[in-house]
């Protein structure tokens, strides 16, 4: 099956710093999403981005499907950005089932 | 906005009890999913459903069953709860119309004592 690798596994930032999270996947996919899991456990949709680039405020994401990777950029980080970021992909012909990366745990210090 | 709701945020049950976890979505999605999340193990798929009365086993279906009598509602059933089912349970939904973009509920933290 498809393998999803996220890096780095952990990241500590000072408030105001920028960061880039990476997701590599091993096969073509028809869905790629980035989620933020907050301290209460809820998974928040950040981006649905099987290809191309999107921006939402301080966050942006780029997926290069032909090279099988995606990047999540966080600029001017805030303490509320802390939590776990998951890259999740959907293989073709799997009826919407998703494969989760192991996540990047981000801690933003004041 | 898509909304997925779960019946409880926190639940405490005793070993051997029958437990129902309910999930409702309001966007007419045909696909619904139940996951559990445990430290160090990530999210694992328990069951999913493509349509009313349709269900398919995920990666860890043992000890669980599901019911989907209406399109908007997907229930997870623990027939006889055990302590190793203490976990965070997350429900999600998606639709082919929206490219299978998946939306999650807030989660239920279940403790079995």
Which of A41, A86, A90 is opposite residue B107, by nearest beta carbon? A41
User: B16 — contact with chain A (CB < 8 Å)?
Assistant: no
Q: Say if residue A96's pLDDT is above 90.
A: no
DSSP string, A11-54: EEEETT--EEEEEEESS-EEEEEEEEE-TT-PEEEEEE-SSEEE
Give dist(CA A27, CA A65) in Å, integer: 9
- Tokens 């059933």 belong to B77
Q: Say if residue A93's pLDDT is above 90.
A: no
Interface of A with B in 12-71 (CB under 8 A): 30-31, 33, 35, 40-43, 45, 48, 50
- Tokens 């880039």 belong to A20
Say what the pLDDT of residue A12 is.
Answer: 97
Which of B48, B99, B101 is opposite residue A97, by nearest beta carbon? B48
- In total, the C-beta contacts within 8 angstroms joining chain A to chain B are 54
Give dist(CA A59, CA A83) in Å, integer: 15
With cut-offs at 50, 70 and 90, classify the pLDDT of residue B2: low
Report, as an integer, the average pLDDT of B45-55: 94
């Amino acid at each position: 099956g498809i393998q999803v690798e996220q890096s780095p596994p952990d990241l500590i930032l000072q408030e105001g710093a920028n960061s880039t999270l990476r997701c590599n996947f091993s096969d073509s996919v028809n869905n790629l999403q980035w989620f933020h899991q907050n301290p209460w456990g809820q998974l928040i949709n950040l981006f649905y981005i099987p290809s191309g680039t999107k921006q939402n405020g301080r966050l942006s994401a780029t997926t290069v499907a032909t090279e099988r990777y995606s990047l999540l950029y966080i600029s001017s980080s805030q303490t509320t950005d802390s939590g776990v970021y998951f890259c999740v992909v959907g293989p073709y012909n799997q009826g919407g089932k998703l494969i989760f990366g192991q996540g990047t745990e981000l801690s933003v210090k004041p | 906005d898509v909304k997925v709701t779960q019946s409880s945020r926190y639940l405490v049950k005793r070993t051997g009890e029958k437990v129902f976890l309910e999930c409702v979505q309001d966007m007419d999605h045909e696909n619904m999913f139940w996951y559990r999340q445990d430290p160090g193990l990530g999210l694992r798929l328990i069951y999913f459903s493509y349509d009313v009365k349709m269900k398919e086993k995920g990666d860890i279906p043992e000890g669980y069953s599901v019911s989907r009598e209406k399109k908007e509602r997907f229930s997870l059933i623990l027939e006889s709860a055990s302590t190793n089912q203490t976990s965070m349970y997350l429900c999600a939904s998606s639709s082919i119309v929206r490219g299978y973009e998946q939306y999650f509920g807030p989660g239920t933290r279940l403790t079995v004592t």
